[in-house]
């Protein structure tokens, strides 16, 4: 068996086309484009690269964006005050506000993320947005989790009644993705078309006999940041394997899945790079458009 490749770049390009058309409509009706403000603390190379890719993607779809760079020596109160000032539009209209993670160790990350108003929280990290997602009425869904679900839907991978195993319990990917995959379908939609109604197991560093659990998965998502963690013998033949991990090994990017060997047994597999990463950015653009629409009272 040779796994079918889940091409995140191609899907992200289609999503961007749809967002571009909606942004043009928004701008014609409202007299300006949606606007995203990104806060970047310090000079971590990876964070700078991610922010650059987000700004480039925003430009492609007609969303205005600004990156506010803050020295690594800043303190939590200063960063919270900056986010509050952005929310007051002191740096121009801010439909979406994003604080690039990770933050330096001395910064209280929870305090900073909680300072982002929930109706501008395009990352979906605010506790209000997390609560809405847990109740099955999401507003802003964390972008990577939303991208994984969109990838499954686009590929026609069944979710209803299937066993999904998510390796990783982060608030950014693992927990929200488990909620998405196990949710009831929206009214009028089938479960597979909505990417939901799955039975979900979350694994983490304390899970005993990880391989025994992952071998049960019809859908296996790896999101822990450990290069090559998922090997061939840990995968059920024909399973869909989604690799969220991003690791740098000997100067190149690799995922949490041993791609070459797992491709021999999986039914579908996403690559790193070129898999989930582009979809994370595409869903950020979609969230920013939604934030602008909600802010200006559009349905």
Catalytic residues: 54, 100, 123
Q: Which of 225, 229, 195, 192 is nearest to 210 (CA)?
A: 229
**Are residues 288 and 36 in contact, defined by beta-carbon separation less than 8 angstroms?**
yes
Q: Where are the beta strands (DSSP E) in the chain?
A: 4-5, 35-41, 64-70, 96-99, 163-167, 199-203, 219-222, 240-243, 247-249, 252-254, 268-269
How far is Cα of residue 292 from the mean position of the Cα atoms in its chain?
Answer: 19
Q: How many CB atoms lie within 10 A of CB 169?
A: 17
Whole-angstrom distance, CA of residue 28 vs CA of residue 51: 27
Whole-angstrom distance, CA of residue 79 vs CA of residue 220: 37
Q: How many CB atoms lie within 10 A of CB 251?
A: 5
Handedness of CA 276, 67, 40, 117 (dihedral sign): negative
**What token pair was written down for 50?**
């991610």
Compute the C-alpha angle 186/188/191, nearest 5°.
55
**What token pair was written down for 194?**
């909505």
Region for residue 201 given its phi and psi (left: phi exceeds 0; alpha: psi -120 to 50; beta: otherwise): beta
């Amino acid at each position: 068996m040779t796994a079918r490749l889940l091409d995140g770049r191609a899907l992200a390009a289609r999503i961007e086309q749809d967002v571009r058309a909606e942004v043009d409509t928004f701008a014609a009706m409202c007299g300006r484009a949606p606007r995203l403000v990104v806060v970047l603390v310090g000079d971590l190379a990876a964070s700078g690269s991610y922010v650059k890719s987000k700004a480039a993607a925003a430009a492609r779809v007609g969303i205005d964006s600004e990156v506010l760079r803050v020295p690594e020596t800043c303190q939590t109160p200063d960063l919270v005050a900056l986010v509050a000032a952005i929310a007051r539009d002191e740096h121009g209209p801010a439909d979406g506000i994003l604080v690039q993670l990770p933050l330096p160790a001395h910064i209280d990350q929870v305090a900073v993320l909680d300072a982002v108003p929930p109706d501008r929280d395009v990352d979906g990290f605010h506790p209000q947005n997390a609560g809405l997602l847990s109740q099955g009425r999401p507003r802003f869904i964390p972008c990577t989790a939303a991208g994984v679900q969109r990838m499954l839907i686009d590929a026609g991978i069944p979710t209803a009644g299937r066993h999904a195993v998510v390796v990783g319990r982060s608030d950014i990917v693992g927990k929200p993705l488990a909620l998405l995959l196990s949710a009831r379908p929206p009214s009028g939609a089938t479960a597979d078309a909505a990417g939901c109604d799955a039975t979900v197991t979350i694994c983490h560093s304390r899970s005993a006999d990880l391989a025994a659990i992952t071998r049960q998965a019809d859908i296996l998502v790896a999101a822990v940041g450990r290069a090559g963690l998922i090997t061939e013998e840990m995968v059920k033949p024909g399973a869909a394997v989604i690799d969220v991990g991003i690791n740098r090994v000997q100067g190149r990017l690799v995922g949490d899945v041993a791609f070459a060997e797992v491709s021999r047994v999986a039914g579908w597999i996403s690559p790193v790079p070129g898999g989930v990463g582009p979809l994370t950015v595409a869903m950020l653009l979609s969230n920013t458009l939604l934030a602008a629409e909600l802010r200006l009272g559009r349905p």
